[in-house]
Structure 1
Amino acid sequence: MRVLITSGGTTEKIDSVRGITNFATGTLGKLLAEQFLAANHTVILLAGLTALVPDAHPKLTIIKISDVTSLISNITKWTPLSDVCVHTMAVSDYKPVYMTDLDTVKQTPNLTDLLSKHNLEHKISSQQDYQVLFLKKTPKVIAMIKDLNPTIILIGFKLMVDVPTEQLIQTARQSLMTNKADYILANDLNTISETQHLGLLVSQHDIMEVQSKHDIAALIVSKSEETYDNYHDCRNR
């Protein structure tokens, strides 16, 4: 199989020296890539700029991803060529539009006028005590994947914080339908640490519990292979 993995996080620039990012390390994406490679599959890893990545391997291609625009460009390129997509990347939900000082905002009668402005300087001045940053929502990348390749096996991730298990499962099932995914790995930030990573791999028919990042990677590799084999068996009948 050719497996496309997204890993780590994206960074949206405010100016040449500042950006909005997140704390994703790419640890799970690295483990997934390593286990797919160990199973003799070809891996294309789209990794955030600071994400952990595996050692060089003849069947591994690593492409560094800066922001959502570069992620979409590479998803568009590689999804039609892949059999499996494991979308673990923590994608920025918003990107900066314009940043200005608080006094300017107060003096602007119609705030929507500021949404058409752009910061032209390489480094925004830090002389003012308060700055206001306008953000715009980014596209949902996972929602694009099945449209680009309807037969791809899609595994998505859903991270929530301090919610009941029933809500975690319900949200995962909603994501399955919304994004036409085959599996969603649902997890709660409160159950993730250096020594454990509790999660639920949810499909239309099953809910499978996992206890660690290694277990998650092993289960995703196994279920990807199983789903791929079943799909091709059905097509060959």
Structure 2
Amino acid sequence: MKVLITSGGTTENIDKVRGITNFATGSLGKIIAEKYIEDGHFVILLAGKNAKLPDPSDNLKIISISDTQSLDENMAKYVPQVDIVIHSMAVSDYSPIYMTDFGEVATSNDLNEFLNMKNSSKKISSKSDYQVLFLKKNPKIISKIKEYNQDVILVGFKLLVGVSKKELFSVARTSLNKNKADYIFANDLEDIFDGQHIGYLVDENGEKIAHTKSEIADLIFTTTLQKLKGEANG
């Protein structure tokens, strides 16, 4: 069996030396990958530049991911080849398109002009006290996965901050239906600290709780294999 796991975070370049990224470490993706590798399954790990990685293995292929575009390109290539996709990567919602001096923006008669501009220098000048950065919304990669392989078992992730369980489950089920996922792992940032990582594997029928990263990996591993075997027997 082949499993594709995304892990860590993306980095969207502003210029050759600056970028927008996030604090994702890839530690959960690493643990999940190790579960499948230990059981003899082949794992394709699409990992952000600073993501924690499993030890080398004949059953592991690691591909370094830079930005959302490179993630999408590799998903399109590898998702058709696998049985399970676990999309745990923290993907940037926006990409920079243009950065400029605040004065240039303040004196402009048409802000729309900046949406079609690009920075030509490899390193944007830092002389100005204030800069304005224009961002463009990225496509949601999870929404494309079932297009690349309609038969793949898909586990998506949803991270919120300081919400009720009712809202957490509601948002997870919206993502479940919208993206045609089989499961969404829903968690709240306020429940992740000091070795604790409380979250819920949500599907059409209910929610299953896990309390640590190790329990999350076990839950996802066991649930996806059971589903795969059920579909094969069906």
User: TM-score under structure 2 normalisation?
Assistant: 0.99
- For 2:64 and 2:36, the matched residues in 1 are separated by 19
Instruction: For structure 2, list consecutive stretches of 5 or more residues without a partner in the other structure.
Output: none
* Structure 1 consecutive aligned stretches of length 4 or more whose deviation exceeds 6 Å: none
Q: After superposition, give the CA deviation of every residue in 1:121-155 in whole Å (9 maximum; x if it has no partner).
A: 01100000000000000000000000110100000
Q: Which amino acid aligns with 1:37?
A: I
CA distance in 2, matches of 1:165, 1:183: 17
Q: Distance in 2 between matches of 1:86 and 1:19?
A: 26
Distance 2:206 2:162 in 1: 23
Letter of the 1:66 partner, please give it.
Answer: S
1:127 paired to 2:127: yes
Larger strand proportion, structure 1 or 2? 2
| Secondary structure of 1:129's aligned partner | coil
SS in 1 for 2:108: coil
User: For residue 139 of structure 1, what is the aligned residue in structure 2?
Assistant: 139
Which consecutive unaligned segments of at least 5 residues does structure 1 have?
A: none
CA RMSD of superposed structures (Å): 0.5
Q: Which residue of 2 aligns with 1:31?
A: 31
Give runs of aligned pairs for residues 87-236 of structure 1, distance below 5 A: 87-234=87-234
CA shift digits 1:167-203 (9 cap, x unpaired): 1011111111000000000000000013100001001
Partner of 1:10: 10
Per the alignment, residue 81 of structure 1 pairs with: 81
Quick one: distance in 2 between partners of 1:153 and 1:82?
Answer: 9
After TM superposition, the score normalised by the length of structure 1 is 0.98
Aligned residues: 234
2:55 is the counterpart of 1:55:
yes
- Specify the SS of the correspondent of 1:158: strand
1:205-231 deviation digits (Å, cap 9, x = unpaired): 121010000000011000110010011
CA distance in 2, matches of 1:104, 1:61: 47
Distance 1:174 1:98 in 2: 33
| Counterpart Cα distance in 1 of 2:195 and 2:106 | 48
